[in-house]
Amino acid sequence: MSTTPDATALFSSARALGCKCVGCPLGPSSEKPCVPVFPEIRPGARLYIIGEAPGADEVKQGAPFVGRSGLLLMETLKQFGVARADVSLSNAMLCRPPVEFKAFMKALSFR
């Protein structure tokens, strides 16, 4: 039996506590703190889709892949008989990156 908590439990705990990023320039101590968009983990999902970072629609709704690109993705999956409920969804970054590329790269490297 594994003592490692599953991903669903980890993200549920993180969501309940709020974003407490340490060392990230987008974290709570920054001028414009991030609003995290946590993954949608579906136990038993056979497909896990990971995007770059959440967009404005994802931040507003608090869910990954709900903007224009997400709607296109869901329509494409539907054509193959795959429903949103059958897929785990996430982004490489939990927060929407700033517009400035240099700040975005700094956030990715945590330097």
Q: Quick check: 97 pLDDT over 50?
A: yes
Q: How many CB atoms lie within 10 A of CB 23?
A: 8
Helix (DSSP H) and strand (DSSP E) numbers for the chain: 4, 2
Give CA–CA dist 102/98, Å, rounded: 9
Quote the pTM value: 0.70
Q: Express each pLDDT in 5-45 by its tens digit.
A: 566 666 666 665 555 665 566 555 556 667 788 899 888 89
Conformation bin of residue 76: beta by default, left when phi > 0, alpha when psi is -120 to 50: alpha
